[in-house]
Amino acid sequence: MSTQVSPEAGLQTVRTGLRGGLLWGAVGVGSGRVLQFVTTVILARILAPEHFGALAIALVVQTIAMNVTELGATAALGRADRDPAEIAPTIFTIGLVTSTAITAAVFAGAPVLAGAMGDPSAAPIVQIMAFTILLSGLSGVPAAMVWRNYLQRPRALVEIAGVLCSLALVIPMALDGWGAFALAWSRLGGQLLTTIGYWLVAPRRFLPGFRRAEAAYVLRLGMPLALANLVVFATLNLDYVIVGRNLGTAELGIYLLAFNLASLPSSLITAVIRTVAVPTFGRLHKAGRLAEAAPAALGAVAYLALPVSALLVGLSGPLIQVLYGREWTGAAAAMIGLGIFGAGRILTEMLADLCVGAGRTVGLFWVQVVWFVALLPALLAGASYGGLAGVGAAQAAVIWLVVLPVYFLMVRRTVAARTGAMLLQCVPPAAVAALSGLAAWMTAGALREPFLAVAAGGLAGTALYALLTRRYALRMLTTLKSLTAADAAEAASEDAAQANTTDTLTLRSAQ
C-alpha cells in the first residue's frame, strides 16, 4: 500500500527545504556552470573552432540520449508523493536497461550519426561520450533521491567536484595536442566522478528490482515527460545539425561558443531553480496552492533573469572579444538572436516545471512537437539567408511568437493559473530589461576598448534597470518582511499558522 504524504506535512517540508535548497542549489549549480564557462574561455584560446564543432556533434547525441535513458521515471521520485521504497527499485531497473541499450546503440551508430551531422571524423568523439549515457543511468535514482530531499549541499559538492575533475583533465590534454579528444575524455572523467559522488551522498540506496504495477505508475507519469524531453532536446540541438551541415564544422564551433555565452543566464537560473522547483511544485499542488503560486514564481524569475539576457545582447560584440579573443568575433553575429532566445527559454523552463509539479506531463510532449515543427523551416531559412545571425534570429522568433503562447495556454489548462496574472508579472521586467540592454549597447558603442565598453555598458544597463524597477523591488521586499512577521505570529493560533504558511510558501516558491 502506498504511503500517503499529507498536504500539511508536504508544505512544512517545502518551508524548511526551500530555505537551504535554493541557497545551496545556487552555490552548486552556479559554481559548476561558471567553472564550465571559464573552462570554455580558456580552451577557446588553445583549441581551434573545428575542435569545438566536433564536440558539439557529440553533445547533440549525448544530450538527447541522456535525457531519455530512464524514460522520465525519476520524476516520480522527485515529486515526493510516493514512498521511494515502493518505486525506486523499479525506476533503477528501467534506467539501467535503457541506458545500457542506448549506450550500445550510440557507440555502434557513431559513424552514421557523425556523418549525418556533417563531420564523419567526429565519430570517435561520439563513441567516447556514449559512455556518459551509461553512467547517467547508474546515477539516476541516487540523484533523484538527493533532489527529492532538498539535499542541495551534498549535491553542490558532487557537481562542483565533477566539473573540477573535467577541468583538471582537459587543460593538460588540450595543451598536449589532444584536440577534441581532450574535451571528450575530460567530460567522461567528470561524469564518472559525479556518478560515484551521488551514490555516496544519497540518503537511501536501492538495488534494481521490478514490480509491474509500479512500472505502470512511473511510466504513466514519465513516458510523456521522456518523449517531451526527447523532442525538446532534439529541438534545442537542431540548430547544431543545421549549422554543421550547411555552414561547416568551423562555423559550428563558433556557434557553439556563442550559444554557450548567450544561454549562460538561462542555464544558470533554470538549473538553480530546478534543484527545488519540481519537489516544491509537487507539494504545493497536493496542498492546492500551485495555481496561486505560479504567477509570483514566474514573475520573480523574469525579474531576475531577463535583464541579464538583455545585457548580453547589448554587449555581445565587445564581450566576445574580451572573453574569447578577436579570432572569435564571428560569434557576435549570432548573439543578438540567441540572447533573446535565452530570455524566452528561462520562462519556458519555469512553465514546464509547473506542469511537472502538477503531474500533468502529456501536454509537454505536444508543446515540443509544435516547437520542432516551427523551428525546422525557420532555422533552414535563417542559415541560408543570414548565416549565423539568421540562425540566432530564427531561434528568437520561434520561442517568443510560437512556443511561449502555447506554454501559457497549457499552464492555464493544467495548473489553473491565470494567464493574465502571469503576464502581468512578466511584461514590466521584460520591457525595462529591453531598455537596459539598449542603454548598454549605446554606451558600449561610444568606446573602442572592448574591456571598457563591457564595463561601462554593463554598469549603465544595470543602473537603469535598478532605477526603473526600484518600486517593484521595494514591494517584493515589503511583502517578504510582512510575511516573515506573519510567520512569527504562527504560535498565536492554529488558524493563523495555516494562513501564514500559505503566504510564506507563495513568496518563497517565487524566489
Which helix (H) or strand (E) segment holds residue 470: the answer is: helix 470-488
Q: What is the DSSP letter of 4?
A: P
The pTM of the whole model exceeds 0.85: no
Residues 324, 257: contact at Cβ < 8 Å?
yes
Cα separation of 218 and 88, whole Å?
A: 10
For residue 407, what pLDDT band results from cuts at 50, 70 and 90?
very high
Cα separation of 235 and 67, whole Å?
A: 13
For residue 491, what pLDDT band results from cuts at 50, 70 and 90?
very low
Using the predicted structure, report yes or no on whether residue 20 has a pLDDT greater than 60: no
Cα separation of 330 and 321, whole Å?
A: 10
Cα separation of 73 and 226, whole Å?
A: 8
Using the predicted structure, report yes or no on whether residue 490 has a pLDDT greater than 60: no
**Mean residue pLDDT across the chain:** 80
Residues 286, 411: contact at Cβ < 8 Å?
no
Decide: helix, strand or coil at residue 62. helix
Phi, psi of 185 (to 5 degrees): -65, -35
**Letter for the amino acid at 313?**
V
The alpha-helical segments, DSSP class H, found in 117-211 are: 123-148, 152-175, 180-201
Residues 24, 18: contact at Cβ < 8 Å?
no
For residue 169, what pLDDT band results from cuts at 50, 70 and 90?
very high
Using the predicted structure, report yes or no on whether residue 7 has a pLDDT greater than 50: no
Nearest partner of 21 among 154, 146, 150, 202, judged by Cα = 150
Average pLDDT over residues 226-232: 71
The burial of 101, by beta-carbon neighbours within 10 Å (0-12 exposed, 13-18 middle, 19 or more buried), is given as middle
Write the pLDDT tens digit of every residue in 447-484.
989 999 999 999 999 999 999 998 877 766 564 344 33
**33 or 387: which leads in pLDDT:** 387
Phi, psi of 291 (to 5 degrees): -60, -35
Residues 414, 289: contact at Cβ < 8 Å?
no
